Amino acid sequence: MIKSLYHTTAGKALAAVTTGLLLTFIAACSDDEKDALYIDTNTYYDEAYRPSVHFTPKTYWTNDPNGMAYLDGEYHLFYQYNPMGSVWGNLSWGHAVTKDLMHWEHLPVALTKDANGEIFSGSIVIDRDNTAGFGKDAMVAVYTSNGQKQTQSLAYSLDKGRTFIKYENNPVLKDDAKPDFRDPKVFWYAAGSKWIMSLATGQTITFYSSSDLKEWKKLSDFGDGIGAHGGVWECPDLIQMDYNGQKKWVLLVSINPGGPNGGSATQYFVGDFDGVTFTADNLPYPLWIDYGKDNYAGVTWNNVPDGRHLFIAWMSNWQYAGVVPSMTWRGGMTLPRELALQKDADGRPIITSRIVKEVDAIAGEWKTISASDNTYAFLFGFITVSLFNNMNNTYAIDNNEDAYELQINMDIADNENLTLTLSNEKGDKYPISLNRADKSFIIDRTQSGEVSFSSEFGKVLYSPLNLSSNAVSLTLFVDKSSVEALINDGMVQQTNLVYPSGIYNSLSVESGKGQIIKSVKVRTLSSVW
């Protein structure tokens, strides 16, 4: 990637002027001319705040991931996209593919508005048995048409998603009594030889079945009196997962507002599904996929060949998504994650979320900071470890990279706390605190960089921390405008946007009596663009 002036104040000003002129020019171009402009425009991925290892569109607005499916060596990501500007509106399906879940190829916009309305969220299935009659192995998109009413429509592709044909008899499902009637997630239910649709219907999820994707029968509703109800329910996903030697069903439900730290978040329910009704187990709901501010509307890929539950989410929050200080685009995705169902410290099922193993392909070698006995003991006091400066008792990381993974292994004694702070030479700080006394995992975004664009951004963010032992592993994936923090392989996680004046390049550790840092290691992550 070409490094430029974008990382300086003068460079940002120049970039802003240049970007404004460029976008004015683009807006005046035809669609074909716009596509031509986007050939080999690598400078789009060297902007201030532009992530190096996360998916973002080349320009303009994006929100929910849609239509995620695997077919013939490609993972498809469709997404809510405004091809006309960097604010919400004019919604279509953008499209990108990846062969390794890291490197992305942008493809032309897949679906655009029609007489039935804008193209809201939905899913894609691979119709192996040609149940719909569109063709064997057709990619069939089931999506919400947002017109005067929200209805469900179909489109299909016979060329691996490069072009789509909309079904002539759209919409295929409607309910005039429900103003919120959207975000269909469809899968093949083998036990019943039928398609199952999970649909967001206000503050409930309604299940439907079909033999051909065209005619749908209502099965049941779920949601009354359970879970969080601070806002509308969206983007459901019903998946079967392995747990403790048995099969369990998990229902993902995004909610806005009403998240644990305000605004948007994704809750989940664990239970059973008999082909008609989902029944939740008796657990302390609400349960959250991610306690950070910026992990929303995530769903899993269909048709994954190795059976993994691969998940990706929109990395933003409706509280401030329209005003974040990115220049030519707004919105992007989390790193892809693998979901699993495991026991928590109390012996109850909990979703764990870890970054996919494919991240190793873009990672450099691990570099370790440790004492001679591989143990750091901090009784009282303060220690600073430089991640990027070649000084005594420090190590250097290739400055040409804008992202890294940091792993810290530690022991946290009962009734004690430990704070780790990422910072840079500009004074931006991102403290992360682990407290055994009150069982909390706290991130302070108040001094993380630019926060003035929204009163809801610069906040202290809380998560529960229910540990089964004193041993704790903290993994941080740091990009130019985000930090994804995972404790103990994703038992607890916070995903948060940040807008620092430069990448965080220093780690400091402050602890109380008896806290032990066993090891600190870091590796660079190369740009995926």
Q: How far apart are CA 35 and CA 177, in angstroms?
A: 41
Per DSSP, the residues of 473-524 read EEEEEEETTEEEEEETTTTEEEEEE---SS---EEEEEE-TTEEEEEEEEEE
Q: How far apart are CA 316 and CA 498, in angstroms?
A: 11
456 with 262: CB under 8 angstroms?
Answer: yes
Q: How far apart are CA 298 and CA 249, in angstroms?
A: 17
Q: How far apart are CA 406 and CA 509, in angstroms?
A: 14
Instruction: Measure the CA dihedral 373/378/379/384, to 10°.
Output: 140
Q: How far apart are CA 19 and CA 13, in angstroms?
A: 10
83 with 92: CB under 8 angstroms?
Answer: yes
Q: Of these residues, 64, 127, 183, 344, which one is catalytic?
A: 64
- Please list, in sequence order, all residues whose beta carbon lies within 8 angstroms of the beta carbon of residue 296, skipping any fewer than 6 positions away: 64, 254, 256, 259, 264, 265, 266, 313, 314, 316, 317, 318
Residue 42: other Cβ atoms inside 10 A: 10
Angle formed at CA 494 by CA 201 and CA 511, multiple of 5 degrees? 155
Task: Specify the residue for token string 């892809």.
Answer: 336
Is 414 marked active-site? no
- Pair of tokens at residue 501: 């004046």
267 with 286: CB under 8 angstroms?
Answer: yes
C-alpha pair distances (Å), 124 with each of 90, 164, 197, 226: 21, 12, 11, 29
Angle formed at CA 396 by CA 392 and CA 401, multiple of 5 degrees? 160
Reduced DSSP (H G I as helix, E B as strand, rest coil) percent helix, strand, coil of the chain, to 5 = 10, 45, 45
Q: For the chain, report the end-to-end CA distance as a whole number of angstroms.
A: 8
63 with 322: CB under 8 angstroms?
Answer: no
Q: How far apart are CA 417 and CA 30, in angstroms?
A: 58
Which residues participate in catalysis according to the annotation?
A: 64
